[in-house]
């Protein structure tokens, strides 16, 4: 029977067999985690689940937590859980490895978790803050005027004051060297 290899996931698929590697599950992403990372993941999911109504779903290599917009996501790696939290302000803390402004209203904070005991305050406080402010940050991003639209609507006001003119120095036009040499040779 003929087989082909999927370009994305490198899995071998039998001829005629249905395959969709983009639809992944939470279980598939966390299946290969070590015991410490699995416990950290379970505690993280349980903590976030207690905040209230939300969607938790897998997308590509991440597990997303969202209300109307994603307020944080987790990328399970071999030796750590990479957590990205979206807040309206930058956080300065040793746990935050990197903070990048991703829009006018959101700052993405990258945090690594390697053990269950790391899923406690201040991490849980930041998660709760992200959960509570996610709708506000989404609406703030929507109400801001895009840069291109602002440029189109802005009117240019002509400058009515005349520009000062400088006096130009008058000098005789410079003649080409060839023309000078022709004159001297003709005379």
150-184: pLDDT as tens digits? 555 555 556 666 666 666 566 666 666 565 555 55
Compute φ and ψ for 153, nearest 5 degrees: -85, -20
55: which 2 tokens? 């969607």
pLDDT above 90 for 126: yes
User: How far out from the chain centre does Cα 57 lie?
Assistant: 19
Alpha carbons within 13 angstroms on the beta-carbon side of residue 163 total 5
Domain boundaries, the chain: 24-142
The pLDDT value recorded for residue 71 is 93
pLDDT above 60 for 148: no
Least confident of 7-11, 113-117, 173-177, 183-187: 183-187
Tell me the pairing of strands 3-5 and 12-14.
antiparallel
The Cα 15–Cα 50 span in angstroms is 45
Tell me the average pLDDT of the chain: 81
The CATH number of the structural domain formed by 24-142 is 3.30.1460
Strands (E), the chain: 3-5, 12-14, 55-59, 62-66, 70-76, 81-87, 96-101, 107-113
| Number of helices and strands in the chain (H, E) | 5, 8
């Amino acid at each position: 029977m003929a087989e082909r290899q999927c370009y994305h996931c490198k899995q071998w698929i039998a001829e005629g067999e249905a395959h969709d590697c983009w639809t992944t599950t939470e279980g598939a992403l966390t299946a290969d985690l070590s015991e410490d990372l699995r416990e950290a993941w379970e505690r993280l999911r349980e903590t976030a689940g207690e905040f209230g109504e939300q969607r938790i779903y897998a997308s590509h290599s991440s597990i997303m937590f969202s209300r109307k917009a994603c307020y944080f996501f987790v990328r399970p790696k071999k030796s750590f859980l990479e957590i990205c939290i979206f807040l309206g302000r930058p956080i300065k803390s040793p746990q935050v490895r990197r903070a990048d402004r991703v829009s006018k209203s959101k700052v993405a904070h990258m945090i690594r978790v390697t053990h269950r005991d790391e899923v406690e305050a201040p991490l849980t406080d930041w998660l709760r803050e992200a959960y509570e402010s996610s709708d506000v940050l989404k609406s703030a991003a929507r109400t801001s005027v895009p840069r291109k639209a602002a440029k189109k609507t802005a009117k240019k006001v002509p400058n009515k004051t005349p520009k000062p003119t400088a006096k130009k120095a008058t000098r005789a036009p410079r003649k080409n060297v060839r023309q000078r040499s022709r004159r001297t040779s003709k005379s």
